Structure 1
Amino acid sequence: MRSLALLAAATALVATGSAAQQAKRSYANPIDIDYRYNFEQINEGISYRTGADPVIVRHKSAFYLFQTLADGYWRSTNLVDWQFITPSRWENDSFVAPAAWSDGERLYLMPSMMEPGAIYVSDAPETGKLDYFVRKMPRLPGQVRPGEEEKMKLGEIPPGPWDPALFLDDDGKWYLYWGSSNVFPLYGMEIEFTDGKLIYKGRAKEMFKLHPERHGWERFGQDHSGGLPDGTAIKPFMEGAWMTKVAGTYYLQYGAPGTEYNAYANGTYTSKSPLGPWEYAPWNPVAYKPGGFVEGAGHGSTVQDNHGNWWNTGTPWLGANWTFERRINMFPTRFEADGQMWSSSRFGDFPHWMPEGPVEDIEKLFTGWMLLSYRKQLIASSTLGEYDASRAADENPRTFWVAKSKAPGETLTMDLGAVKTVRAIQVNFADYKAGRYADAPDIYTEFVLEGSVDGKRWTKLAETEKPRRDRPNAYFQLKAPAKVRYVRYVHGHIGGAHLAINDLRVFGNADGTAPAMPGAVKALREKDARNAQVTWRKVRGATGYNVMWGVRPDRLTLTYQVFADELGGGSDAKLDLRALNVGVGYYAAVEAFNETGVSARSAPVAIR
C-alpha cells in the first residue's frame, strides 16, 4: 500500500509539474502581430506586410506598440498577445517612426515630420480614442525648410523632427530627441507640454554623431562591409533615438548603421544629465543580431514590464520584396550594477519564456527548445515555378515556397527524419506578388498544423482560432509536447494573391546528448582593430554555433549565430567579427548546438 501511495503521489507531482510548465507562455521573434500591408512602393506595384521602428510604452499596466506605416496600433497586457486598435483619428498617409510616452494619466504620440504637424494625446488609448494635443506644433528654433539643408548656417538645424523620441524625467521636465541622417547628428532639447501647448525651452543641441572609424559596428553594409554589394561605399546612418533613465544614468540610444542588411543594431551613450555631455559606451552595441533567421536589431525602444524586467525592441531586416521590408523583434535586456546595458540575442529567434516575475539571468529565458526543421525534407501539394518546397526550411526569410493555388487544402509536409518531441511551431508567410495595399475583410490567415508518426495517421497540433486576423509570423506553443516525425501545414486562407511560406520552423528536442564543446578556440584581432577573427575546431553533429564576445570574460553579451553548413569544409571553422570598438579589450567563446541541445561553452579567450 505504501508503494502504491508513493506511486500515486509521484504521478500527481509529475502532472502538477507539467501543468505548471504548460501555464508558462513563450514567444518567438519576429513577434506575432498582424503586420499591415505597406504603401511605400505602391507606385512600383509592390505590396507586402511590414513592421519597423517599434515603440512600446507601458501605460496603466498595459503596453502599447506603435510602428511605421500601420493604420493604428497594438495593445497587450502580457507582451505576448497583441490586439490591434483602430484609432479615432490618424494621419492620412499614416505615421512613420513615431514617438510615444506616458505620463501615467495620458499617452502622447508624435509622428515623424519634416514640416510642423500634429501631436496626439489619449486618456483612453485602449478604446482607440485619440485627440489632438497640438494640431500644428511650432517650427523648431533655427530650423530650415526641406530642401535648404545645404544652405544651413552655423546654429541652424535641418528639417524635422524625424524619428523623434519623447522623454519625461522624474522632475517633471519633458525632452525631445530626434535625428535620422548620415550627415547630421542626433539632436535634443527641453520642451514643455502645458495647457495644450508645446513650448521650446531654448534651442536644439547636438547630442553626438557616428564614428565608424572607431566603432566597427557603425559601418554600413552586410557584416559592416562599408557599402553596397557592388562595392559602392555608403556613409552610415544614425537614427531612432530613445531615452531610458536607470539608477540616475541617462541612456540615449540610437540605431545604426542602416536598416538594410544584417548589421542593424542599437547602441547608446550615457550621461548624468538628459542633454549630456555624453560618453560613448565601450560595450556597444547593446542589441545586435547579425545571424540566424531574424537578422538585425536596430531602431527600437526600451521598456520595463510589470515585473521590473527590461526589454529592447528593434527592426530586423526581411528585404524580399524591397530593401525596407522588415519585422519587429523583442529581446530581454539588463542594466547591470556597473551601468552596462545589454540585450540577449543568443538564440534570439528561438522560443523564449515570457517571465512571470523578476528575472536576474536573462539568458535563462531561452526555453531550450531547439530548431528541428533546418534543411529538413519538405513535400508540397503543389509548387509554382522555381519556388520549391526546400526553400521553406533554409532559415532564410528571403527565399520561399509558393503553391500553385491558394485554395483550401494545399499542404506543406516536413519530415523531421525521426520521431522527435515538438513543442512549438512558427509559420512565416512571404508576400509573393501579394497585390494588396490596404486592409480588407479577407486579409487574414487560417490553417491547421498536424503531426504524425508514420505520415499516414494525423492528429491536430495547433490551428488558427477566432477572431480572424492576419498572422504573417504565426507562432504556436503546443498545448502539450507531441512525439511526431512529420509536421504538416494544411492551408485554409490567405489574404494575398499567393500562398507563400518562407520558413516552417519547428522547435523541440531530439533524443540524445548535447554536442561536445568546441575546442581550440582562438581569437585574433586584426591590424584594423575594429575586426577580429575567431577560429575553433568543428564539432561532429553540430547544427550550428554561437560565437559570443564581450568586454568581460564573465559577461559575453554579443552573439553571432552561424550554421555549420555555412562554414565550408575542413576540420576548423572561422568567423570574422567586424563590430569591435577601437581601444576596447574583448573576450570570446564558442558553443555548439544541434537538435538535442547546447554544448558547454568554451573557456573565454582574450581577443589579441
Structure 2
Amino acid sequence: MTKLLWALAFTIAILATAQQATAQQATGSFCNPLNLNYRFSYDSPAYREAADPVMHIYKGKYFLYASKSGGYWYSDDMLNWVYRPSTTLPVEDYAPTVETIHDTAFFIASKGKMKIYYSTNPLEDNWKVYNSLSISMTDPALFKDDDGRVYFYYGCSSKDPIMGIELDPKRRLDTIGSPLVLIQHNFKKYGWEEHGELNNNGKDGWNEGSWMNKHNGKYYLQYAAPGTEFKVYGDGVYVSDKPLGPFTYMPNSPFSYKPSGFINGAGHGCTFKDKYGNYWHIATMAISVRHMFERRLGLFPVFFDADGQLHCNTAFGDYPMQIVNRKMNFEKESLFTGWMLLSYNKPVTASSEMPGHAATMANDEEARSWWCAASGNSGEWLQMDLQQLSTIRAIQVNFADEGARLKAGMPVKPYQYSIAASSDGKQWKLIADKTANTVDVTHDYIVLPQSIKARFVKITNHQVPDGAFSLSGFRIFGKGNGKAPQAVKEVSVQRDASDTRRATIQWKPSPGATGYVIYFGNEKTKLYHSVMLYGKNTLDLPGLNKDVPYFFRVDAFNENGITKGN
C-alpha cells in the first residue's frame, strides 16, 4: 500500500470515529458486543477481530487496548469512543498490557522477548521504547502495587503454568529474581478449564490471559480458559495475601462466564475501576466462524462481596445496559435497562436470500449465523413483524460482512442503511437514517430519541463495505403490551455422581415464556453465575468445580418482562 493510501486510511478512521463519538452522545446505554470499529485481519477469508482487552484510566480518560486492532481507543465516559491509529506501538501483536508507573503509561504486547514502551501523552501516537524484557513470554500483565513495587504475570499454554516475577522500576523494569509458578492446569478438578465447546474433550484447555487486582489487602490473580474460540471461554481467579503467592483457588470460578445468548464468551479480560470507584470487567467474546480469532469485546459490571469473593454479572449481558456516572453497589443495583428483546424468532421477509443464509437467521439470537441477501446492492431489505403493537426503545444492527474480501490496512467503506417502522405494514416512518454514515462499525447500537409504537420494522441497505448485505442480528429492544410469564416452580438438578463437574437442570416450562435465565452459585444468596436459554427447558452444565456445592434458580422472561423463580 502506498504512503498516500495509508495516510488516507488513517485520516478516514479519525474523522469517522469523531463522528461516531458525536452521534452516540447522550444515549446513556450500550449493548454488547461493544460498538467499535473492529478491524479486518490480514488473513483469508476476511474477518474482523479485537480481543484480550485492557482498560486503563490515564489522566482522567479511559484508554482501551486490544489485540490486532491497529491502534487503540480513548473515551471520557466509556460510551463514546475515539479511535487512535498507531504506528509507534506493536499493535499487530496479541494481548497488550498497560500500567501507570510514576505518571507514565507503560505498554507491553505479547511476542517473545518484547520491548517495553512508554508515553506521557497517549492521546498522541508518540510512544517510545523504554527497555526490553529479559524473559520470553506470552500474554503479559503489568501490576503496580500500592507500595510502588511492580509485578509481571504471563502465560498462554495448554501445558505450561501461569508465571509471575517482580520487576524493578529503579532499573528500567528489569527482572528481580527468577519467575515463579503461580497457577497450574487442573481441568479434572475445575471443569470449566477442560478443552472443548462443552468442556468435553478430555484434555487441558489453554490457561492464559492473566490479570491482577488488589482489593482490601488481597491479591486477585485472574486467568482465562479453556480457549478463546469456545462459547464457554471465561475468567477464573486465585487469591493470595502476597502478589506472588502462594495462591488459593476461588471456588466460584469462573467468576466471568457467558456461555449463551446472542454472543458468547467472557474470558481473557481485565478488571478495572471506573472514575467513580465501580469495578468493571472487559472481556473477549467469540464468534469464531471464519477463524478461531474472529472475536469481539464485551463490558460487564463487577463487584467484591463482603467475603471478598469476586463476581462478574453477565446476566442479560448482551441486552442494553446503562453507563453510570456515580458510585453504585453492583451487588444490589442492576445496570439492565429493562428493555426486553422483541425480535426473537419473529416472522421475517427479505428482498432476497443467499443459499444457507435464510432471513430467519437474522433474528435467531445467534451471532454465529446470519441472513445474507443475494447482493450488496442498494435497496436490499429485511422486514420483521413483531406480531403486536410494541414499544420500541433501541435497535442493535449486527452486520456479518458476508463475502467481504477486505484486509487490515485497506480503506473500509462504512455500512449505510435506513430503518423504518409501521403499525400496519403500509404507512412507514423513518426512525433511523444512516444513509450518510461515515463510521466503520459492525454492531451499530441505536437508542431512539423517543420510544415509538410499531408492529413492523424494516431495514434497507444503502451501502456495504464489500460483499453482500448481511445481518447476524437485527435486534429490537423495548416492551410488548402483554404480561410477563408465570414463575418457574418445578426445578430439578441432577449432578453426575461419577463426575461432579457436570450437572443437568430441568424445569417445567412456564406459560408465555420466551426463554429462561438459570442462575447458580456456591451459596443460596450468591447466585451470580448465569446461563440464558431460548425455547428450552433443559440445561446441561459441564463446567462446574468438583465436589463444590451449587444452588440454582430459574427465571422466566418474555418481551413483556422477567419473572423471578424460586
TM-score range, shorter chain: over 0.9
User: Structure 1 residue aligned with 2:124, among 119, 122, 127?
Assistant: 127
Alignment of 1:95-174 (within 5 A): 95-103=93-101, 105-114=103-112, 116-134=113-131, 137-140=132-135, 160-174=136-150
Alignment deviations for residues 327-373 of structure 1 (CA, whole Å, 9 cap, x no partner): 11111000112101011111111111111211114561111111111
Report matched runs for 1:18-29 at 5 Å: 25-29=28-32
CA distance in 2 between counterparts of 1:464 and 1:302 reads 34
Which stretches in structure 1 are left out of the alignment for 5+ residues? Answer: 1-21, 141-159, 228-232, 568-572, 603-608
- Report the TM-score when normalising by structure 1: 0.86
Query: What's 1:221 paired with?
Result: 196
Give deviations 1:69-125, integer Å, cap 9, x for gaps. 11100111111111110124133x7121111112362211101012x2321111111
- In structure 2, the residue matched to 1:11 is none
What is the rounded CA distance, in whole Å, between the counterparts of 1:507 and 1:32 in structure 2? 16
Is the 2:235–2:257 contact (alpha carbons within 8 Å) kept by the matching residues of 1? Answer: yes
TM-score, structure 2 length as denominator?
0.92
- Correspondences of 1:111-510 after superposition (within 5 Å): 111-114=109-112, 116-134=113-131, 137-140=132-135, 160-194=136-170, 197-225=172-200, 227=201, 233-361=202-330, 364-464=334-434, 468-510=438-480
Distance 1:465 1:500 in 2: 16
Give the CA deviation at 1:463: 3.6
> Within 2, Cα distance between the matches of 1:25 and 1:186?
38
CA distance in 1, matches of 2:219, 2:153: 13
CA deviation after TM superposition for structure 1 residue 323, in Å: 2.1
For the 8 Å contact 1:24–1:353, the answer to whether it is kept is no
Partner in structure 1 of residue 547 of structure 2? 583
The aligned residue for residue 36 of structure 2 is 33
Cα distance between partner residues in 2 of 1:314 and 1:395: 20
Pairwise CA distance, 1:465: 8.5
> Which residue in the other structure is 1:144 paired with?
none
Deviates more, 1:251-260 or 1:97-106: 97-106
**What RMSD over aligned residues (CA atoms) do the two structures have, in Å?**
1.7
Matched, 1:62 2:61: yes
1:214–1:404: structure 2 CA closer, same or farther, 3 Å change rule?
same
Residue 544 of structure 1, CA deviation: 0.5
**1:255 aligned counterpart, secondary structure:** strand
Task: Note closer, same or farther for the CA distance 1:465–1:52 as it changes in structure 2 (3 Å cut).
Answer: farther
Residues 134 and 174 in structure 2, CA contact (< 8 A), matched pair in contact too = no
What CA distance in whole angstroms lies between the structure 2 residues aligned with 1:167 and 1:56?
Answer: 13
CA drift at 1:56: 0.9
Would the alpha carbon gap of residues 467 and 483 (structure 1) be closer, same or farther in structure 2, given more than 3 Å must change? closer
Higher strand share: 2
CA deviations over 1:198-257 (Å, ceiling 9, x no partner): 3111111111112111111111212212x2xxxxx4421100000011111110000011
Counterpart AA for 2:452: A
Q: Whose Rg is larger?
A: 1
Residues 578-599 of structure 1 show CA distances to partners (whole Å, capped at 9, x for unaligned) of 2221232221110000010001
Residues 403-448 of structure 1 show CA distances to partners (whole Å, capped at 9, x for unaligned) of 2222223221111111101111111111323101124444322222
2:507 counterpart residue number = 536
Q: Against the structure 1 CA distance between its residues 431 and 442, is the aligned structure 2 distance closer, same or farther, given a 3 Å change threshold?
A: closer
CA spacing shift, 1:138–1:394, aligned 2, 3 Å: closer
In 1, Cα distance between equivalents of 2:452 and 2:101: 46
Moved more, 592-601 or 496-505: 496-505
1:386 and 1:208 map into 2 onto residues whose CA distance is 44
Q: Which residue pairs with 2:77 in the alignment?
A: 78
2:368 is matched by which residue type in structure 1? R
What is the total number of aligned residue pairs between the two structures?
A: 540
CA contact (8 A) 1:24 1:354 kept: no
Report the CA distance between 1:512 and its aligned residue: 1.7
| 2:362 aligned counterpart, secondary structure | helix
Identity of aligned residues (%): 36
Corresponding letter in the other structure for 1:85: R
Q: Which amino acid aligns with 1:591?
A: D
For 1:207, give the aligned amino acid. L
Query: Counterpart of 1:462 in 2: which secondary structure?
Result: strand
Secondary structure of 2:51 counterpart: coil
The whole-number CA distance in structure 1 between the counterparts of 2:398 and 2:371 is 11
Q: Secondary structure at the match of 1:391?
A: helix
Instruction: Please state whether the residue corresponding to 2:148 is helix, strand or coil.
Output: coil
Alpha-carbon spacing, 1:449–1:82, altered in 2? closer, same or farther (3 Å): same
